[in-house]
Amino acid sequence: MNLILPVIDRKKCTLCRDCIDACGLHALAIQNERVIFIEPDLCNYCADCEGVCAQGAIRVEYEIGW
């Protein structure tokens, strides 16, 4: 089953590492000059990475329903 993860917009990302530093679960890293989920299973969708990204490059999305 595909794990739902935050979406990273590569065009907006400046590789500043703020999201990597903010992720308390160490799910993010830079590899081949891209920020990726190096440990996707660790990501708990807390949206801390989205909160620190000054470029708005990370989207943690929710659909709202019953």
Would you tell me which residues interact with other proteins (CB under 8 A)? 3-4, 45, 47, 50-51, 56, 59-66
Least distance to other proteins from the beta carbon of 25, Å?
Answer: 14
Smallest distance, other proteins to C-beta of residue 3, A: 8
* Tokens matching residue 24: 């308390």
d(CA 5, CA 58): 10
Torsion of CA 31, 2, 53, 51, to 10 degrees: -140
CB 32, min distance to other proteins, A:
25
Beta carbon nearer to other proteins, 3 or 32: 3
Residue 32 or 62 with smaller CB distance to other proteins: 62
- Report which of 47, 16, 42 is spatially closest to residue 30, judged by C-alpha positions: 16
